């Protein structure tokens, strides 16, 4: 039980620094997108449907690339 608490605390600390994040939800233009890490990069989901795949292992770069791509297609 004690080890589980430590693991949970470690995950919280790592997520706050953007390290080893396997899944993250991001609000963008009033919608909530889910970024899930897979072997080839991050998959982007909206309401359970896969929207895009971004080939990077950094969550922050994946979010930035998705936003840039989405803004360009909207114009």
pLDDT in tens, the chain (75 residues): 455 555 677 667 666 665 555 788 888 888 999 999 888 889 999 998 999 999 988 888 999 999 998 886 665
Given a contact cutoff of 8 angstroms between Cβ atoms, the answer to whether 51 and 45 are in contact is yes
How many domains does the structure of the chain reveal?
Answer: 1
In a domain, residue 33? The reply is yes
Given a contact cutoff of 8 angstroms between Cβ atoms, the answer to whether 10 and 3 are in contact is no
**Residue 59: predicted pLDDT:** 86
In a domain, residue 7? The reply is no
In a domain, residue 60? The reply is yes
- CA torsion 51-56-60-61 (nearest 10°) is -90
- CA torsion 8-21-48-46 (nearest 10°) is 130
Domain of residue 29: give its range.
Answer: 21-74
In a domain, residue 50? The reply is yes
Given a contact cutoff of 8 angstroms between Cβ atoms, the answer to whether 48 and 36 are in contact is no
Global confidence as pTM: 0.65
């Amino acid at each position: 039980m004690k080890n589980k608490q430590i693991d949970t605390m470690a995950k919280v600390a790592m997520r706050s620094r953007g390290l080893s994040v396997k899944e993250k939800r991001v609000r963008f233009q009033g919608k909530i997108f889910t970024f899930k890490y897979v072997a080839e990069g991050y998959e982007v989901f909206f309401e359970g449907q896969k929207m895009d795949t971004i080939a990077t292992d950094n969550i922050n770069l994946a979010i930035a690339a998705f936003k840039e791509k989405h803004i360009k297609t909207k114009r």
